[in-house]
Amino acid sequence: MVNEFDEIRPYAAGEVKQAVESLLADRQFSHLLQGFVPWMPRWMRNGLFRLAFVGVNTPLQFQLRFIKPVLKHILRRCSTDHTFAYNGIAPGPERYTFISNHRDIVLDSAILDLMLHEHRFPTTCEIAIGDNLLIYPWIKTLVKLNKAFTVKRGLSPRELLESSQRMSRYMHHVIQEKHENIWIAQREGRAKDSSDQTQESLLKMFAMAGEGSIVDRLKELHLVPLSISYEYDPCDYLKAREFQMKRDNPAFKKTKQDDLDNMKTGIFGQKGRIHYEAMPCINTWLDEVAELPKTEIFGEIARRIDRQIHAGYRLYPGNYVAADLLDGTSAFSNQYTAEERNAFEKYLQSRIDLIHIENKDEAFLRERILTMYANPVINKMKSAE
């Protein structure tokens, strides 16, 4: 029987075995595995991989057997610490839609899943991912095994409306009937300048399905603003490069290879400390905006979610140094030492040195990277006003 969600949903339990077999048959995925055990021949890798997944019949089991150890390996190698704080939510029967700022294409949701598991939440998240990132068949297979559902991109206005309605129905179905959590970014794509703002159109999509008023429909999703803070963004220099490319050529578009390079750099680059902060569910204050006109309600909800996300940032010395360097002041000098300032300035120059581009504009690139690290300071200060 064909279900209306079949085109976008993750794999169901009965589809996992065949999906794993298709991964093993994919040469690109086999090459990826080689990076973890370069000394092992392919036939042995595939044999061990197949043996490792005996008894894996659901996406959650796949996450725990494969994604969890791979992710822990990446975090040991590429970060110094990862922490999770949750305010007003707790492990238990409730399911949540985590709406977060977006720092890394792959790891934002993966690290959340790991932290939920480590803090004894009963299940991980179904993950919203744009189909523009499903560059190769093995990526699509892997993310669907990892409980990802697909967000369609590049649609006509009519197709976009139909896709949004289906997406909304699916999200309500996940929370209310499948009893799974959801992770979704607060906007399409990453905020390359790290100034995180929630798209009103996303909230409108959430409210397309469900019962009752706008507030009632949003309450069904149990939206939890989630702040993600990385001490260092491995893709900062790639984002700065893209800023100059677009400045010099407004028609510039990233290639599939660019997207793949961003994903690899984000996964394997150094991140320093990582902190996730889940803020209280917005159901605690949604009734306060219920009487606003429809033309204002989504804007007000977006602003409140932004304040919660900004308030949840964890700031590091580099953020404060960047804010001072950007403004040419020492307003935040009490937040870092001379050694920390010197270390960040060296880091900044090392990132600029990685950029190879025609007509390289170092002053512009420097300003772009500083802005990425300074904006969380600026936004967190505004959230306290």
Amino acid 97: pLDDT: 98
Where does CATH 3.40.1130 sit in the chain? Answer: 60-234+269-313
pLDDT tens digits, one per residue of 25-37:
888 887 776 666 6
**Mean pLDDT for all residues in the chain:** 92
Q: Output the six-digit token pair for 97.
A: 């839609």
* Least confident stretch, 52-56, 119-123, 131-135: 52-56
Amino acid 35: pLDDT: 65
Amino acid 112: pLDDT: 96
* Least confident stretch, 14-18, 46-50, 126-130, 257-261: 46-50
Amino acid 40: pLDDT: 64
The predicted model scores a pTM of 0.93
Tell me: pLDDT of 339 over 60.
Answer: yes
CATH code of the domain occupying 60-234+269-313:
3.40.1130
